[in-house]
Amino acid sequence: MKVVAASFAFSLVVGFAVAQTKPFQQQTTKDSLLYSQWYQHLHSNPELSTMEAATAAYLKKTVAAWGYQITDSLGYHSFAAVLKNGNGPVIYYRTDMDGLPLKEQTGLSFASNATMMRANESLPVMHACGHDIHMSVWLGIAKLMAEQRNTWKGTLVLLAQSAEETGQGAKRMVTTANFQQLPKPSKLLAVHDHASLPAGTVGFCNGYMMAAVDMMNITIYGKGGHGAVPDQAIDPVLLAAQYVTAIQSIVSRNLSSNDPAVITVGGIQGGSAGNIIPDKVLLRLTIRSYSETSRELIFKRLKTIGDNLAIAAGLPNDKLPTYDLLDMSIPSVYNTPAFGDQLRSVVTKRNGAAAVQNVLPVMIGEDFGVYGRYFKDTPAFLLWLGTAAQNSNAAALPSLHSPFFAPAYKETIPGAVQVIAGCLIELFANTK
């Protein structure tokens, strides 16, 4: 008797999920032309980080028509669109809005020809990281959730964020007075394009998903002189070469092999002629790590190695290297495992096992992790969003940040709206 009852209960759950998914499919099919119009407009009109005024205005005007209340002044052009629908959980869903300084080469009829001035320089602009996809999905979710008010209770907070690409937007947002007046979230959710996952699928990575990103400039000092008499100088070029080699041991010899990190020296600037020993050399680094412990250890070792190499070369204390951590640091993205398991179950139930992909952690950065740090005990998850055309050769596809990146938007957006809206409906139904 218990087996029969359990089977009957399971059938009811599956039947409810199918019943809920079917109108979503009907609605997203009906709205597919609208999705394409949104996407093409946003793709053709990208704006650089902190300059997304027209983009934000377009999003605000669109969602306001569906009954969302706008909370402005969240840093740069960031805002929140809030839909209160009775008592229930509060769920945040974030999109980013900024483009990249890149000349588009996709050949699309609606390709971006936009340029913007930054620091007295005219730069081409392109949505090469798929934020136009993110915003189109965000709009689709906003419309669908407004139309499906009778199926859920709670408060949906749709965040539209400036300056993700430069690591400034989320950090600025959480410091604003208006953000702190928003209702506190029960869950935090967002998506990020994945150039090689098939459209209609979502990728899951529990735990650390993306790295903390730090950009650091290190100045190695020396004593300038003639290249013909190096014994009368202290050569900072030689010191810089020794330093670049030495710091490669930090990850391989100071961190656990189970705790990945990356230290890359992407730029070296020093000297003006082959016969002149300069008095300093500038190194430009990017540092990627997951745990805060590893991050702090890397910083400590960078300084210890640099200082001791300088001392060994005979430099005084006032000529030790300087370590300038730039204001672009963002924390790692940590996906709450239990929340990920919940979302995986929802997607599998509503969209089938084929819609779920497992993705390994990566060393790229994303400032969504800022929200997880700010709301310390709130489950947070960033889903990978497949954007590749079905049956395409993933190895041959242009990557994110490529001038040739052209996601299969007609397949991606409707499928993503169905998946994410389905997750939101079930999350609002589950108050735990």
Measure the CA angle with vertex 142, ends 140 and 146; round to 5°.
120
Greatest alpha-carbon pair distance for the chain in Å reads: 95
φ, ψ at 335 (rounded to 5°): -90, 120
The alpha-helical segments, DSSP class H, found in 130-185 are: 131-147, 169-173, 177-180
- Separation of alpha carbons 79 and 367, rounded Å: 16
What residue ranges in 86-224 does DSSP mark as E strands?
90-96, 115-118, 121-124, 154-161, 187-198, 202-204, 207-210, 212-221
How many Cα atoms occupy the beta-carbon half-sphere of 163 within 13 Å? Answer: 22
| Residues of each annotated binding site for Mn(2+) | 129, 131, 165, 192, 401
Annotated binding-site residue numbers? 129, 131, 165, 192, 401
- Calpha distance 238→243 (Å, rounded): 9
Nearest to 201 by CA among 22, 11, 391: 391
Q: How far apart, in whole angstroms, are the C-alpha atoms of residue 382 and residue 93?
A: 10
| Residues 65, 78: Cα–Cα separation, whole Å | 19
